Structure 1
Amino acid sequence: MTTTRIVVTGIGATTPLGGTAAESWTNLLAGASGARTLEHDWVAQYEVPVTFAASAAVPAADVLERREVKRLDPSSQFALIAAREAWADAGAPGVEPERLLVDWATGIGGVWTLLDAWDTLRERGPRRVLPMTVPMLMPNGPAAAIGMDLGARGGERTVVSACASSTESIANAYDHLQAGLADVVVAGGSEAAIHALPVSAFAAMQALSKRNDEPATASRPYDVSRDGFVLGEGAAALVLETLEHAQARGARIYAEVVGGAVTSDAYHITAPDPEGSAAARAMITAVENSGASLDDVAHINAHATSTPVGDIAEYNALRRVFGERLGSIPVSATKASTGHLLGGAGAIEALFTVKALHERVAPPTINLVEQDPEIPLDVVTEPRPLGDGPLLAISNSFGFGGHNAVAAFRTFED
């Protein structure tokens, strides 16, 4: 089978570290944390047990027009901001609408819209429920908003696979371009679930860190004292296109997308398979799709949520894949800085992986004070040069339900 080369020509993001991709990357390299104490009235009203999260650094209302804010759930607002930035960054590619496709993702969808509408129904009656409620709460709302904004008629596809969602959307975008369904794809994911109910629910299942007095250091992947993840919000977008299309228009190229894979544990609704066999298979397949060897992998952006069970399960999967060589591969766990963006996590981590390859520097993992001896990885704790020559990197995402997704990227070489 002939393989079409796929490249990244545009990036965009709005995250807890910054309102743009550039700001997010700069603050990531600087070792910043996006976690902060929540100032919402509902924190005290409902006495939620976790009082902090990694909120978006720049509110969507500061960027979008008022009518857009009113007609879009926050998950769609973040998506539109990230996609517009990525599109502009790519030089607004000239492409036929029928050859432009959107592959987007979310883990939860329009939860703010749904819960606000429920409050309105209970307190003010059915006549006061907004007519736009259903379009705003639909999980495909972000993909639709992007598609309408950019005039994409090649398809507006939505993935919902928990925390693996947006890495799966990137893997799908790679497949769709390989299949010739489009010349350009806007891929990524968004999430906006910092609300009393999701926070309370995650806390009830003992998934969130309880470090209310020290939010900035609460997310600490691989540390012996890790006690859960920090909920984050935001979005990230990548513009992917065939190399032929990109070169024909003289586009700037960040990196090459060389593979993607999706597997499932079929093990437990929330816990990862501790043996990590399916997660390992996703990594192996993503690299094999690239035509490269596992020995070529020079950097890993790990899922690394800072949960006691999850970090070890991922290590076990990585060890299955890389064996003894694992200890010499630089691993970055960027959720320590951004928090966990759920369905948007894979997209921002893929963006960070692309930037790491383009700038040849692995970003740091903050808050690692005492590394768990059961996870003897080579964790990057300060920005680290990745060296010269061709580089291959993978970005891992694993989600509730046993969803595993991995994307592989390589430095671009003519």
Structure 2
Amino acid sequence: MEKRVVVTGLGVVAPNGIGLDDFLEALKLGKSGIKFNQQLSDLNFSCQIAGTPEISEEKKRDYFTDLELRNFNSTGIMYGVIAGLDAWKDAGLEIIENENPDWESGTIFGTGTSGIEKFRESIYKIDALETRKLGSTAVSQTMNSGISAYLGGKLGLGNQVTTNSSACTTGTESILMAFERIKYGKAKRILAGSTSDSGPYIWAGFDAIKVCNFKSNDAPEKASRPMSASAAGFIPGSGAGALILEDLESALKRNAKIYCEILGGNLNSGGQRGGGSMTAPNSAAVQKCVKDAIFDAKINANDIDYISGHLTATSKDSTEIKNLSQALNRSGKDFPYINSLKSLTGHCLSAAGSIEAVATILQLSENFVAPNINCEDLNPEITAIIDANCIPQQFLETKITIAAKVSFGFGDVNGCVIFKKYIPSIL
């Protein structure tokens, strides 16, 4: 018998908010976390602004021991551990210290790269014939599965402990992988999420191919402009989002808080065919991904009240809206409300899907749509497809029953997950 899957905990480290309370306030106020970055300026980047979470030394010590922090400089692991442990605590779960791991709990926590600053440090030490000075954590900080390994150890997880990686679709993919594992009874709960390192060695490649906005260095909070006619590229960001997925029976048994239910979703690829490439989407695949997610969730396209878009502030924004409209067969005023968190955080790369999923669930559970900022001049190619009122530019209080989160990534990969407000009377 298939299990119903619910979300019982959330954690977030975002450029505009560390922790749920700060992040929720930033969502409602339309508060940007994008700031001028002196290091990018010193390195002569074209885009000299970014969305970087600010973690104090005191905050780090709430999650790591002094020994762990010695020679530790993996921002991605740091963000992921903070978000993951916060989600665990938010779900009302305890960290049990005994000989046996928690066989019923695991983590699927994605990333794009891990410990790139540690890699840089290692290269310099190796070249200087100082290999022995690398320290005992060089491997754990730089292996891609470092984030899941750290979380698995801190929480004593005995079920699947792994790291996935699918570019900007990573976070959404981790949620759907966890959903499938719980749905088929292979785990009671999974800590799902994703993280991304910050800094120039992550962002340089994007700056080099001119996909970042280099025209707004003097106006950081206005720079990320999804769905705007003056959109000039994305702003790099970083952070982590985390969700506790749990089977409904387990959640009810322990009287857990339930944010929402996951109805289903889909992952696919356009195969870099039919107009798709390493950096461009195959529209047929995008539409199929959304249609198949709706079918898997056993809902109708008209049931969707709100969409958290991928929408990166590039020329592909109008293509995304067109694909969503065609997949749903909804346009004009009939289109769901839609927003892009990237106007507030920048593009958090491999962490984007999970941070945006946390934002989606908060909006669903609290019945509001966060404002799209910086799109006063809506792209006319978009408003030719959907009504401008479907793109709220102010905080909008409205009932949301079903929400969709879509993600699209380099390599022509796509993801869509469907969330529904949990109704206790329906068992």
Give the TM-score normalised by structure 2.
Answer: 0.90
Match of 2:225 in 1: 220
Aligned partner of residue 235 in structure 1, secondary structure: strand
Match of 2:85 in 1: 84
Structure 2 distance, partners of 1:60, 1:189, is: 22
Structure 2 distance, partners of 1:356, 1:250, is: 23
Structure 2 distance, partners of 1:119, 1:243, is: 50
Q: Is the 8 A contact 1:34 1:57 kept in 2?
A: no
Structure 1 distance, partners of 2:265, 2:115, is: 27
- Give aligned-pair identity as a percent: 28
CA distance 1:336–1:218, change in 2 (3 Å): same
Offset at residue 134 of structure 1 (A) = 2.0
Structure 2 distance, partners of 1:109, 1:282, is: 28
Q: Does 1:198 align with 2:198?
A: no
Q: Is the 8 A contact 2:375 2:393 kept in 1?
A: yes
Q: How do 1:4-403 and structure 2 match up within 5 A?
A: 4-40=3-39, 43-44=41-42, 46-59=43-56, 62-64=59-61, 65=64, 66-70=66-70, 71=72, 73-92=74-93, 97-123=102-128, 125-195=130-200, 197-210=201-214, 211-267=216-272, 268-273=276-281, 276-308=283-315, 310-325=316-331, 327=333, 328-376=335-383, 377=386, 378-387=390-399, 391-403=401-413
Structure 1 distance, partners of 2:56, 2:27, is: 19
Equivalent position amino acid for 2:150 in 1 = A
Offset at residue 73 of structure 1 (A) = 1.7
Equivalent position amino acid for 2:69 in 1 = V
* Matched residue count: 406
Equivalent position amino acid for 2:210 in 1 = Q
Offset at residue 112 of structure 1 (A) = 1.9
Q: Is the 8 A contact 1:297 1:329 kept in 2?
A: yes
Deviations along 1:268-291, one digit per CA (max 9) or x if unpaired, are 553223x51111212122222211
Equivalent position amino acid for 2:317 in 1 = D
Structure 2 distance, partners of 1:93, 1:246, is: 14
Offset at residue 410 of structure 1 (A) = 0.3
Offset at residue 323 of structure 1 (A) = 2.3
Offset at residue 72 of structure 1 (A) = 6.1
In the alignment, structure 1 segments of 5+ residues that lack a partner are: none
Aligned partner of residue 17 in structure 2, secondary structure: coil
Q: Is the 8 A contact 1:7 1:242 kept in 2?
A: yes
Aligned partner of residue 271 in structure 1, secondary structure: coil
CA RMSD of aligned residues (A): 1.9
Give the TM-score normalised by structure 1.
Answer: 0.93
Deviations along 1:87-137, one digit per CA (max 9) or x if unpaired, are 111101689711101011112222222122223333564333334222211
